[in-house]
Chains A and B, each alone.
Chain A
Amino acid sequence: MKVEAKLEFQPSTEPKIGADLLINLLIKEGVDTIFGYPGGAVLPIYDGIYRAKGRINHILFRHEQGMIHAAEGYARITGKPGVVIATSGPGATNLVTGITDAMMDSLPLVIFTGQVARSVIGTDAFQEADVMAITTPITKHNYQVQDITDLPRIVKEAFHIASTGRPGPVLVDVPKDISASILDSDVPEDACIDLPGYQPTLKPNPLQIRKLADTLEKASRPVILSGAGVLHAHASDELTAFAEKHQLPVVNTLLGLGTFPADSPLSLGMGGMHGTYAANMALYECDLLINFGARFDDRLTGNLKHFAPNAKVAHIDIDPAEIGKNVPTQIPIVADAKEALKELLSQTNASPEHGSWLEKLTNYKQEYPLWYKLDPSGMSPQWLIEAIHKATKGEAIVATDVGQHQMWAAQYYTFNRPHRWITSGGLGTMGFGFPAAIGAQVASPESTVVAIVGDAGFQMTLQELSVIYEQNLPVKIFIVNNGALGMVRQWQELLHGNRISESILGSQPNFVKLAESYGIRGQRIDTQEDLIASLPELIAYDGPLLVDCRVMQQEKVFPMMAPGKGLHELIGVKPI
């Protein structure tokens, strides 16, 4: 009797349940980290995680939004899907912002949400939400598991869909009775993908490649636009080789920063609303625009009437639906950017004769560089970013939140390498930056990871300070603290008759004490001298760190293309 009772508590004799199968499948997919938060409907899954200790790492966040942004940061750095587990109802709805963000910025995620048991779905059961309907428009695809024997196939398909073609979030809704179901020993773990409706085109059409090569040869004002598709395709080297081979100037999108070395003489920097004069004028005046993996977002193009008005447009994109969506395209090429670039590099065409164009652009760069004024008594935010750039030798992984500081980081933290830059482009999600930095640090423990955040956005997800303390993740948080919703304040000043409406923060926590209360070192910096004195030590500090940097509130991001304006109508291109 005694022996039998003891045996009952041996984990090995516990029956295997659906959740154990799920965890096994995740391990098989090569998942090393789960970004998760438990709750009623995922309790069986957490049993599975409990039993799989040592085989898979789980990080407990403090809010589902924080954890999904962390998974996005992880995905951005590794290129692998970030894996998220949340409970039904409120757990799932708390993910919605992050799922949308990942959808807009094409980040691979595989998200598992708990669901109420199949027998009560549709009865407004406790913590039931129609997650399938809610997430259909914001996922690349979603599944609700109806039968445990489908799980191996669904998991395999979810990872496949998330990480191939144009990446994106895939959600799997798992009813509690499925994850809790006792497994028949004969549920096979192997499954085949069954996706006849999903076959991304990777190889470019050779005729179109030839057409582009021929058109390029005859162009006199060619320019490359390089977007995040180049990152997903790991095609930076090919892009750089192609640009250098034909001496083509390169404009980066916000998300495409790092795909082309910023210190190359061919680099024009970022284009768009807060892009450089040279980049925007190149897009405006070109006669051939070759877009690799950018989706012609309106923050890049400005008023479409004035976007590349005299150019032939070639657009290389793995997602056919992006081609011709916003900008009429004469040379459409559906392909993976790397495949297309390899083909282009093997063409034997001569380079275009565009010396005077390059000269003109170089003049633009010299005549209209980015500019800012130093704050004699305090600290100007642009200078702060430059100082961080210098102290980290431009080699850090930088995650930003959304607002002015994001644009300054994009302008002044220049990258010569890809996969170091994490920012929320399409959705512009405040609260993204800090948790995304956590995910990046998890993905790349040896790297210096810097979170550059605004004082307002940071407060949307700061609860994750617990996570960097607990996991001892040496994320360096720099709050660009202007005491305002800076970007909103800027728009109000410039575009809304200086009606500064609800964009000044009336009170703030003491960020240093806040950090300390989480067990994290905090430091406040008020002046340039302060920063110069302490920055090397701060960057070298081996642990999580929050730096509250006080900057001038009035500072604005320039140049700026006001909404509705064209690329050639930038304001603030010269010091005022």
Chain B
Amino acid sequence: MERKRNIINSLSLVPEELEQFNFARYEKYAEIERTEARAEEYRMEDAEICVAAFGIASRVSRNAVDAAREMGIKVGLIRPITLWPFPVDPFKRSLSTVKKYISVELNMGQMIEDVRLATECRRPVTLCNRAGGMIPTPEQVLEAIKAAANGGEQ
């Protein structure tokens, strides 16, 4: 064949080459983590309790946060908009005021591990969840917030 042939593949069997490829990929992932993480912070200014929730769970949690605030509980919400890269920064910053975290999820607890990693396990993190397509009510989340405020469940 006159021209150089094209080979399209994703297989790299030479360790020296594959290691360089891995390094290059991880540089790219690190850049994504630096530039693409997004989250919404809601009533977090002076929050001592932080509810972490995304998607449907976050909408439910927002009502619960408002209800708890009316009762005088200092609670806020961090709503990750990207789950990867996980928005570590808002969690790191929140450590200056927050004493307890509640991960509200529609599963058996998946993001709770990311919250623990983001806060480097420096505060207790509890789970408030439903599963199988069931959705927690604002009341259920409010109960979890009240329990945290009363020093319960820990």
Do the two chains bind? no
* Contacts from B to A (Cβ < 8 Å): none
Binding site for B on A (CB under 8 A): none
